[in-house]
Amino acid sequence: MHSAGQVVRAALRAAARACVPGASTASADAAAAGVIAAFRAEPLFLNHRMHDAGPAFPASTCISVNDEIVHGVPGPRRLHDGDLVSIDCGVRLRGWCADAAITIAVGAPEALDPACRRMLECAERLLEDAILAVVPGVAWSSIAERLERGARDQGYGIVTEFMGHGIGRELHEPPHAPNAVLPGFREHDDFTLRPGMTLAIEPMLVLGGGTVQTRTLDDGWTVAVADGRPACHVEHTIAVTASGARVLTGPLRPTVREEVTHTR
């Protein structure tokens, strides 16, 4: 899974480099697809179907722009200075999967709205904090509560409709790993972390507080904030070890501290 995670990391970096003003989201997806093919890995999103219904996903990555949260379909849309772009990628390599996401700003750093930059920085900190909290014996509900409280205390909405998940031989495996303590979760769906578990942790924040309402666009995939507020999405695949978490897909950005990854 670590090898698969490094393919994901390389693909995300290639897609991020392709996200320049005037470029299409399809060209960023093509950059990632080229990396995946070079490693002879399988792009897990391509032709994926949600619950075996609806249209098959047509690309190797999900690219979501500004008010789009997740599952954005790459296409002819052109990027502009100041756009906030979330890129999500999953691959299978030699039978094992990894999944990660980053959010980047297009163009000059000063073009990004400062409020959006602060939101992205908060999302990255929350992901780091969640990873640092992963130790055997901890209930996932305590980490979910930490994510939710961290977002809301900083004045951001947190997406609860979509969440982290188990991952291994398949992209989506049990258990569900929500970013907030949903009604009934502690009573029915909570789980205790133990060595050998592998999870995708993926907080999604929305600018401004309150409940986040979503809508699915006409392509049947792209999920956007219903009221048009900007959003961001960051994700790592991690393994639970006896001493804590090992990040299998990182580091993805310079702000992710090296000690969080436990890489050697």
**Domain ranges (residues) in the chain:** 2-261
Q: What is the pLDDT of residues 128-187, one digit of tens each?
A: 999 999 999 999 999 999 999 999 999 999 999 999 999 999 999 999 999 999 999 999
Average pLDDT, the chain: 93
> pLDDT tier at 52 (50, 70, 90 boundaries)?
low
Q: Can you give the pTM of this predicted structure? A: 0.93
CATH topology of domain 2-261: Creatine Amidinohydrolase (3.90.230)
HEC assignment per residue over the chain? CHHHHHHHHHHHHHHHHHCCCCCEHHHHHHHHHHHHHHCCCEECCCCCCECCECCCCCCCEEEEECCEEECCCCCCCECCCCCEEEEEEEEEECCEEEEEEEEEECCCHHHCCHHHHHHHHHHHHHHHHHHHCCCCCCEHHHHHHHHHHHHHHCCCEECCCCCEEECCCCCCEEEEECCCCCCCHHHHHCCECCCCCEEEECCEEECCCCCCCEEECCCCCCEEECCCCCEEECEEEEEEECCEEEECCCCCCCCCCHHHHCCC
Structure confidence by residue, pLDDT tens digits, 74-108: 999 999 999 999 999 999 999 999 999 999 999 99
- Model confidence pLDDT, tens digit, residues 205-260: 999 988 899 999 999 999 999 999 999 999 999 999 999 999 999 874 433 333 33
